[in-house]
Amino acid sequence: MNHLAARHAISAILTGQASHTRALALVTALRLADHGPSALADATLAAALVLPADSGPLRPHPANQEPVPATGDGCWTSLARRCGEQPAHLGHGLALAAGLARLWPSATPDERPLLRTRYLSGLLQTTAPLGSYATRDQLRAATRDLPTSADEGPFTAAALADLPHMPQASDAHRLVAALLTDAGRLAPVASAVATIACRAVGSGSRSPQAEDAILAALLLRHPGALPPEDQALLILQAAHQAWWATSGSRPSEEIAADMTLAEAVRSSRVVNARRAGRRAVAEGRFWTEVPPLAQEILSHGSSGWVRPLALLAEVPVDHQPPPELAAAICAGLARAWAVA
Q: What is the mean pLDDT of residues 218-245?
A: 95
Q: For residue 330, what pLDDT band results from cuts at 50, 70 and 90?
A: very high
Q: For residue 229, what pLDDT band results from cuts at 50, 70 and 90?
A: very high
Same domain, 103 and 147: no
pLDDT of residue 58: 79
Quick one: 73 exposed, middle or buried, by C-beta within 10 A (0-12, 13-18, 19+)? middle
Work out the mean pLDDT of the chain and round it to a whole number: 91
Same domain, 30 and 77: yes
User: What range does the domain containing 300 cover?
Assistant: 261-339
Domain count, the chain: 3
Highest mean pLDDT among 181-185, 196-200, 215-219: 215-219
Contact 325, 310 (CB under 8 A): no
Q: What are the DSSP calls for 307-337, one per residue? A: HHHHHHTTS-TTSPPPHHHHHHHHHHHHHHH
Give domain status of residue 64, yes or no: yes
Give domain status of residue 252, yes or no: no
pLDDT of residue 253: 47
Chain centroid, CA 35 distance in Å: 17
Give domain status of residue 130, yes or no: no
Give domain status of residue 256, yes or no: no
User: Which of 247, 280, 298 is the C-terminal boundary of a domain?
Assistant: 247
Same domain, 182 and 223: yes
Distances (CA, A) of 210 to 191, 201, 216: 14, 6, 10
Same domain, 326 and 280: yes
| Predicted confidence (pLDDT) per residue in 101-155, tens digit | 999 999 999 999 999 999 999 998 889 999 999 999 989 888 887 766 555 667 8
Q: What is the mean pLDDT of residues 301-317?
A: 92
Whether the pLDDT of residue 204 is over 90: the answer is: no
Q: What are the DSSP calls for 180-220, one per residue? A: -SSGGGHHHHHHHHHHHHHTTTTSSTTHHHHHHHHHHHHHH
Contact 77, 100 (CB under 8 A): no
pLDDT of residue 300: 82
